[in-house]
Amino acid sequence: MSSSTNTRPGGRSDSVKTLKKLLACSGSYRALFVVSMILALISVACTLYAPILIGKGVDVIVGKGDVSFDKLVPIIAGLLILVAVTGISQWLMSICTNKITFNIVRDIRNRAFSKLQRLPLSYIDSHPHGDIISRVITDVEQISDGLLMGFAQLFTGICTIVGTLIFMLLINVKIALVVVLITPLSLFAARFVSRSTYKLFHKQSVARGELTGLVEELTGSQKTVTAMCYQQQAQQRFDQANKQLADVSVKAIFFSSLTNPTTRFVNGLVYTGVGIVGAFTVFSGAMSVGQLSSFLTYANQYTKPFNEISGVITELQGALASAHRVFSLIEEPEESPDSDLKTLEHFDGSVDINDVSFSYNPQRPLIEHFDLHVKKGQRTAIVGPTGCGKTTMINLLMRFYDVDSGSICVSGENVRSITRESLRSGYAMVLQETWLKTGTIRENIAYSKPDATEAEIIAAAKAAYCHSFIKRLPLGYDTVISDSYATLSAGQKQLLCIARVMLRLPHMLILDEATSSIDTRTEILVQNAFAKLMQGRTSFIIAHRLSTIKEADNIIVMKQGHIIEQGDHKTLMSKNGFYAELYNSQFTQ
């Protein structure tokens, strides 16, 4: 599913809403914001007063052989003081604006990542992981760039425009009106460009997210890509996505780059107009050469912020487009709250599934009117062809998804009436897909029990038959690994995942093809360990190798979301039905 479907911009109204959300994020930093504005005012005031001193200095030395050094020295001293104050205030202002910007960006990124922890699994399943990563990392970084420029230049630019206009009116009203009448052209140009760039920058963010998703997909499965000789097709897909990003980026940059030359052209007209009208005014004796010099400086200072503000607006459009994608993630509906639900503290191990129906897509029914009753300590195996709903049942038991109808009760309590945390704390899962975090082996085994002692960790590793290969690693339990750690085989990674469960000692156990990557000899040992672990614990076992579930108390045979057979291994084999057919097919040549 493309991420762009849920984050399509709605034009100016969307841009304004997103800007309001960004401004709301700065509420915690009002004090810094006020300090930054005060420093900006000081900087602008010093910058605006400098042309007055320069003009006075010009009048002092304008006459040949008539230079008054007594008057010139204080003027130069005043200019040096202004330069020093301006430099210090701008330095302090940049510190404040940087702190505001990066704190806001940190808060937004924290909110986005925190949101991911509360989103339903259906959102994660239906969005490319690379696009989600792009929103949390790249798009937030784009917000940082836009905000940094905005905070630093927008307020300063507006103050400079207002201040220079006031000074120009004080010097000469007629020339000031010339400046005021020409400058709206710059505003119209900037407005036209900003409208075009927002949509283009949004398309650029979406294309960047899709490219990130593709790279994450291809690099995460590089062995498969190489083994299947898919490199050429992968390159073609990357080239296509990269070209799409390049095309959109070029268009966005082209439109945004129109702003600066357009405003500079208008600024040139302003400067020319001031020079021509000012020259005639000096000839008529209405103003001095020094005043004209000051006015030209003010005219230049007046138009310069328009260039900067137009650049800010362009950069802000990119930031707003990225912010729109980030806020669309932050505002996604969360899992239904369970803070007012009770905590399940006593597990008796019973599970009752009553008339449950569920489908990922309403148009494609999967599980319909499913009934199952599991007693305390019973080992229940779920078997069936691929796509029959085995793993879906596990998702429902763990409440990764909620049922469409019917109910699931654990220890006599409807899972919708108890908190997800207390429900999931009663289970431990070993999945077919292994996952290891970046950290030491010790930290990986103790992932669900961080306070475990060294003795407990080693005991769990021994129970999972991974202690021996851990000791052979360079640093033993202190060896740093990750999910892509090449030194460990797939079977060794799965043994580490099994060790996590051995450490936790849960009330209920879920094994989803837990020994699929383990060799036969080790599998026998691990099965013995699981047999000890499952004693007195309710267990759900999903397995394709039916020989591993012969000792299960109850075997559920599923097909197209329904239970078609049920019983222990001996009973099902005697029926000579679908289960017997599946079992025997594994031994046929």
pLDDT in tens, 561-579: 888 988 888 998 998 888 8
Which residue among 330, 363, 385 closes a domain? 330
Portion of the chain with pLDDT greater than 70, in percent: 90
The Cα-based distances of 427 to 371, 382, 394 in angstroms read 20, 17, 11
Helix (H, G, I), strand (E, B) or coil at 506: coil
Q: Looking at the predicted structure, is the pLDDT value of residue 557 above 60? A: yes
Does residue 236 sit within a domain? Answer: yes
Residues 246 and 383 in one domain: no
Binning pLDDT at 50, 70 and 90, where does residue 5 land? very low
CA angle 340, 343, 345 (to 5 degrees): 170
Query: Is 90 found in the same domain as 166?
Result: yes
**In a 10 Å sphere around its CB, with 0-12 CB exposed, 13-18 middle and 19+ buried, how is residue 313 labelled?**
buried
Q: What is the mean pLDDT of residues 49-72?
A: 71
* Same-domain status, 438 and 557: yes
Residue 87 lies in a domain: yes
Q: Which residues of 161-199 are buried (b: 16+ CB within 10 A; e: fewer)?
A: bebbbebbeebbeebbebbeebbebbeebbeebbebbbb
Structural domain span for residue 202: 3-330
How large is the angle between the packed helices 12-25 and 289-330, nearest 10 degrees? 90
Which of 46-60, 249-263, 329-343 has the highest average model confidence (pLDDT)?
Answer: 329-343
CATH number of the domain within which 170 lies: 1.20.1560.10
- 318 with 381, same domain? no
Q: What is the mean pLDDT of residues 396-418?
A: 90
Task: Please indicate, yes or no, if residue 356 is contained in any of the structural domains.
Answer: no
The yes-or-no verdict on residue 458 having pLDDT over 90 is yes
Burial class (CB in 10 A: 0-12, 13-18, 19+), 405: exposed
Q: Are residues 325 and 385 in the same domain?
A: no
Residues 183 and 303 sit within 8 Å (Cβ to Cβ) = yes
- pLDDT score of 67: 64
The mean per-residue pLDDT over the stretch 202-208 comes to 82
41 assigned to some structural domain: yes
pLDDT at 12: 57
In whole angstroms, how large is the CA radius of gyration of the chain?
35
Q: Answer yes or no: do 288 and 387 share one domain.
A: no
- Same-domain check for residues 206 and 119: yes
294 lies in the same domain as 383: no
For the chain, give the mean pLDDT. 81
Number of structural domains in the chain: 2
Are residues 179 and 92 part of one domain? Answer: yes
Same domain, 441 and 312: no
Mean pLDDT of 390-398: 87
Residue 370, domain member (yes or no): no
pLDDT > 90? residue 442: yes
Is residue 352 scored above 90 in pLDDT? Answer: yes
Return d(Cα 267, Cα 307) in angstroms, integer: 9
Q: What is the pLDDT of residues 120-133, one digit of tens each?
A: 888 888 888 878 88
**413 within some domain:** no
Q: In what order do the strands lie in the sheet with 405-410?
A: 367-374, 351-358, 405-410, 413-414
Q: One-letter amino acid identity for 270?
A: V
In a domain, 538, yes or no: yes
Examine the pLDDT at 181 and tell me if it is beyond 80.
Answer: no
Q: What is the mean pLDDT of residues 342-352?
A: 86
408 burial (CB, 10 Å; 0-12 / 13-18 / 19+) is buried
448 Cβ neighbours under 8 A, 6+ residues apart: 428, 500, 503, 504
Does residue 344 fall inside a structural domain? no
Evaluate if residue 246 carries a pLDDT over 80: yes
Check which CATH number belongs to the domain holding 535 and give it.
3.40.50.300
pLDDT of residue 434: 79
Judgement on whether residues 282 and 386 belong to the same structural domain of the protein: no
- Asked if 182 and 306 sit in the same domain, the reply is yes
